[in-house]
Chains A and B, each alone.
Chain A
Amino acid sequence: MPVDPKEKIARRVAYELKEGYLVNLGIGLPTLVANYIPEGVHVYFQSENGIIGMGPEPEKGFENKDLTNAGAGFVTALPGAMTFDSAFSFILIRGGHLDVTVLGGLQVDEEGHLANWMVPGKMVPGMGGAMDLVTGANKVIVAMTHTAKGEPKIVKKCSLPLTSVRRVDLIVTELAVIQPIDEGLLLKEISEETTLEEVLRLTEARLIVSSELARF
């Protein structure tokens, strides 16, 4: 049976989340990570619109107009949840209190720089909280498909405006797990459904293949 790329990515990213972590999931693909937290692991989900302890979407009829995620979707508050204002929310993000942020990406390059907030002349959604998240979180995980319309997204040098000059910590695609290090991009894992040749062919950036290359 073919594997859904987004589910593959979300499952692998979820494995990075450890007991007691404070985690911010971006809108879109990163949101799926919440569905695959390993059993027995308890993490706290923060959303930049002002909540820790965000729970899943409520059942129909139980929506609260004032309880939403960063995409304005209705959510629930788990027992023990707390809400707060935007300054406090970004104090958590920028001040070294957020253990992990998981964000989508348009491009990541050999220096581990992420571009994910605009395509000049085409799409200018704005950076929202992304620049603060990438600059401030203790660990930045980029969760994205390996290519877009067949074009590599892991490139030598980002051609799109950067989100931050901070080096991201991990890149997870449906094909590979890559860790940016001083020497470049370390290919640590490839998926069960691919080959090393395919990963190298679909990656523009130079990859350093780990001597302990694993499968996921």
Chain B
Amino acid sequence: MKVITHKEVAELVKPGTTLMIGGFLGVGTPEGIIDQLIENGVENLTVIGNDTAFEDRGIGKLVKNRLCRKVIVSHIGTNPETQRQMIAGELEVELVPQGTLAERVRAGGAGLGGILTPTGVGTVVENGKQVMEIDGKKYLLELPIRADVALIKAKKCDYYGNLVYNLTATNFNPLMVLAADMVIVEVEEIVPVGTLTPDEIKTPGVLIDYVVVSGVK
């Protein structure tokens, strides 16, 4: 991994990129990277994340600044601006049940061809999807999902890029690390190699391309 500045991150993320962004209502979202994307006006983004958070937080800020073309999320209820843009036809919104989204991301990073889930059977989520019956029970075939770039938030890492997450800021982050061609992580601090115990490291540094430190321009 390579430690870079926030400005360099924004240069790595081109307009039109498909992003995965960690976080749950902004908790565990790399806010510093998002602020830099806004400063640089990186537009036409497709964003895969749990939700569009709030207008002044997380992915919500990208929506509010009209930098998203499409969002693939499980929830937009806390961000009226997402709903407004969707109804006005300015933003494409694909709603995915949260557990299905987690498994689609996981499948994308795990080399799987899809997953079978009972969630959504018989509802509007089933529309256009293959229904498979296994041992008498119906499942939807949900396809894997990947991104060009994953924007990840971790509490800290060492100089190998080994990641330690914090509490409920973990959420989608460890799954998204595996499902993108390039991985950029925002951490609160970088610590020397050897100071993290093997069992507190939840993502191996060998998977990380770039690291930025929160608040360090």
Contacts and interface: CB of A to CB of B under 8 A. Distances in A.
Given A125-B77, A129-B74, A87 B103 contact: yes
A132 interface: yes
B180 interface: no
Interface in A118-168: 123-132, 135-136, 161-165
Contacts of B77: 123, 125-126, 128
Interface residues of B, number: 48
A163 B118 CA distance: 12
A125 B168 contact: no
A181 interface: no
Nearest to A90: B99
Interface stretch (A5-13, A31-39, A66-74, A203-211): A66-74
B95 A87 contact: no
Interface string B90-128: 000001011111110110000000000111111111000
A73 to B, nearest CB: 9
B161 interface: no
Contact of B106 (A87, A124, A128, A130): A87
B174 A64 contact: no
A50 B166 CA distance: 11
B124 A83 contact: no
A47 B168 contact: yes
Contacts of B74: 126-129
B73 interface: yes
Contacts of B125: 127, 131
Range, interface on chain A: 35 or more
B172 interface: yes
Given A49-B27, A85-B172, A85-B175, A72 B78 contact: yes
A72 B26 contact: yes
Given A126-B74, A161-B124, A136 B119 contact: yes
Given A94-B117, A128-B77, A129-B74, A86 B172 contact: yes
Given A48-B98, A87-B175, A124-B95, 13 more contacts: A50-B24, A50-B168, A50-B170, A65-B27, A66-B167, A68-B25, A89-B102, A126-B51, A128-B97, A131-B120, A136-B118, A162-B123, A165-B121
Interface of B: 24-28, 50-51, 53-54, 73-78, 83, 86, 95, 97-103, 105-106, 117-125, 155, 165-175
Interface of A: 47-51, 64-68, 70-72, 77, 83-87, 89-90, 93-94, 123-132, 135-136, 161-165
Shortest Cβ-Cβ A-B pairs, 3 listed: A125-B77, A90-B99, A165-B122
